[in-house]
């Protein structure tokens, strides 16, 4: 699983020893360290997965929130009961969907969401990606993490982004570098080592995704 937080995450400056004792590195066997030229066809490597900007009325919202909580609370213990924060009121959520009749679920069922990420404009034309993660059953499919990153950056770039940043857990830095990101700082978030990284917007060409109006935001109610 590739995962990263974002500038909302508190605890910067705490020592590594204060990290949750149950935290385990998020890179698992099979993650795509040696990325191919993803720009050519970021979602065409498999017809099993697609990547979508979620709207307020989407039936996938429940799956989005559930997977975020599962990864960042139940599994990694980065947060306790909830990973939601004030940025969710202005963030744009993105989900990776799995399409297979073998799973036995209708399109839009909660279990169809196998990856999550959010993008947020913290200052004019400055964007961050965060809450990036992949369902534990699908981490062998390295195109999911790449597809989420691609969808996040190209979407923001199409909306007038000048810089796109993310705080990336230390074990995932090499993966991001292979996907045309560079490290600009080292820091700790909630006791976990991270790199502040920046995407090469010349590589992530702007998408034609239409930016929703302000009322798009998902409800942050529990």
pLDDT tens, the chain, 222 aa long: 455 655 544 433 333 322 222 222 232 223 333 334 445 445 444 567 889 999 988 999 899 988 888 877 866 666 677 767 789 899 999 999 988 755 444 444 434 899 999 999 999 999 999 989 998 888 876 789 999 999 999 999 999 999 999 999 898 999 999 999 999 999 988 788 899 999 999 999 999 999 998 645 555 544
Please state which CATH number belongs to domain 16-33+42-209: 3.40.630.30
End-to-end CA distance of the chain: 25
Residue 99 Cα to chain centre, angstroms: 19
Q: What is the C-alpha separation between 16 and 13, in angstroms, rounded?
A: 9
The label of the residue with tokens 């919202």 reads 61
Residue ranges of the alpha helices (H) in the chain? Answer: 61-69, 142-158, 173-178
Contact 169, 197 (CB under 8 A): no
C-alpha to C-alpha distances, 198 to 94, 107, 126, 156, 204, nearest whole angstrom: 19, 34, 11, 13, 12
- Per-residue pLDDT at 218: 54
Both tokens of 120, joined, read 């947020």
Six token digits for residue 126: 């400055």
Q: Where are the domains of the chain?
A: 16-33+42-209
Per-residue pLDDT at 104: 44
């Amino acid at each position: 699983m590739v995962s990263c937080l974002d500038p909302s995450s508190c605890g910067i400056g705490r020592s590594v020893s204060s990290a949750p004792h149950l935290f385990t590195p998020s890179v698992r066997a099979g993650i795509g360290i040696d990325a191919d030229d993803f720009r050519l066809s970021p979602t065409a490597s498999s017809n099993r997965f697609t990547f979508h900007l979620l709207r307020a009325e989407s039936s996938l919202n429940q799956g989005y929130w559930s997977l975020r909580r599962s990864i960042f609370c139940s599994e990694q213990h980065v947060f306790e009961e909830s990973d939601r924060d004030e940025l969710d009121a202005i963030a744009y959520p993105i989900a990776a969907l799995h399409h297979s009749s073998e799973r036995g679920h209708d399109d839009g069922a909660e279990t169809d969401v196998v990856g999550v990420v959010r993008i947020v404009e913290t200052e004019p034309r400055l964007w961050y990606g965060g809450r990036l993660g992949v369902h534990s059953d699908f981490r062998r499919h390295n195109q999911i993490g790449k597809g989420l990153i691609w969808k996040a950056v190209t979407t923001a770039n199409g909306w007038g982004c000048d810089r796109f940043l993310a705080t990336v857990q230390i074990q995932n830095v090499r993966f991001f570098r292979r996907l045309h990101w560079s490290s600009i700082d080292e820091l700790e978030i909630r006791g976990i080592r991270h790199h502040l990284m920046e995407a090469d917007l010349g590589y992530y060409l702007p998408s034609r995704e239409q930016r929703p109006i302000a009322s798009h935001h998902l409800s942050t109610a529990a």
